[in-house]
A and B are shown apart, each in its own frame.
Chain A
């Protein structure tokens, strides 16, 4: 049921009014709140202008400050990754013959292509750092206890998904280093008891070839981001039910409004953008030559998050019966 909106005293009709007669904008705004825009409950039966006015004035606990900001950063960084990833996908070709060349075309020939590529690569690195730090923070503060189990599970899932996104994404450039790092990583994965053979079956074999590349591409651009977006949704939907983590002991709970919250989000986004631009220009990731399955470059190791199991498996080989 929708409420009747009072007529504009000036007799003018804006595009918001035009659109609102055709679609429930409050409902869309309410949906966006589940991705961290605001924590205030929204009455979807009222016009969007009223809702925004009310939300803008309603004091809510400040969740974009201190350690709480980590959750919001995971959403903002993911949005940056999604935007840069979609732009890169326009020119990327996921075949072993064309992957390296198309990546080189993006980096070398397209206007600002190198910039997008570096932003995407460094954004992934930062996202991995943020989700891991957030998980450690939740553990340290005991925020896995009831009624926050769902938050803990989504935080664990987000770490797993981001690392999978990183692992599947680094193969896509098909340069020598990324290819052999993936080969080393796959050796670790395939050595896992029970899960290893299942994953080998799902990926189409134990050799990193065109089958694996196309599966990694599908996982990287469709499957894993969808699950990650679902985790962001669950995180903020759970927060609306169980509330924010308690303020640090001895410190009063700070409050804010939607207007201030939007401003904070904007500042965070600008700050993150600045950090990424600096990293992309000062410390760019470099390419080697195209991958050659018969030539292993020196010093190749699996990605950083696989180094611990890599070392373990080197010293403690899995028994054959497993």
Chain B
């Protein structure tokens, strides 16, 4: 999952090629914010995690 995410970030220009309408840009931004929010939430969880 992490590797797939890393490659998805790198291949963003290819994955989102050609669709530059305002609606599409808004959706892409929203998706980016959602991914960032999940990442931050996981980071907070990781910071609070006590090692079992």
The size bracket of the interface on A is 20 to 34
Q: B14 to nearest A CB, angstroms? A: 8
Q: A130 to nearest B CB, angstroms? A: 17
* CB <8 Å contact, A312 and B10: no
Docked pose: A315 CA to B43 CA in angstroms: 13
A-B contact count (CB 8 A): 68
B42 part of interface (Cβ distance < 8 Å): yes
A253 part of interface (Cβ distance < 8 Å): no
* CB <8 Å contact, A146 and B13: yes
| Chain A interface, >50% SS class | helix
Interface 0/1 of A159-190, CB less than 8 Å to B: 00000000000000000000000001000000
* CB <8 Å contact, B16 and A144: yes
Cβ contacts under 8 Å, A136 to chain B = 36
On B, residues with C-beta under 8 Å from A are 1-3, 9-10, 12-14, 16-17, 20, 25, 28-29, 32, 36, 39-40, 42-47, 49, 51-52
- Between-chain CB contacts (< 8 Å), 16 pairs: A136-B36, A140-B29, A145-B17, A145-B20, A146-B13, A152-B13, A156-B10, A301-B46, A302-B46, A304-B43, A306-B46, A307-B42, A308-B42, A308-B46, A311-B45, A312-B2
On A, residues with C-beta under 8 Å from B are 136, 139-140, 142, 144-146, 148-149, 152-153, 156, 184, 192-195, 300-302, 304, 306-312, 314
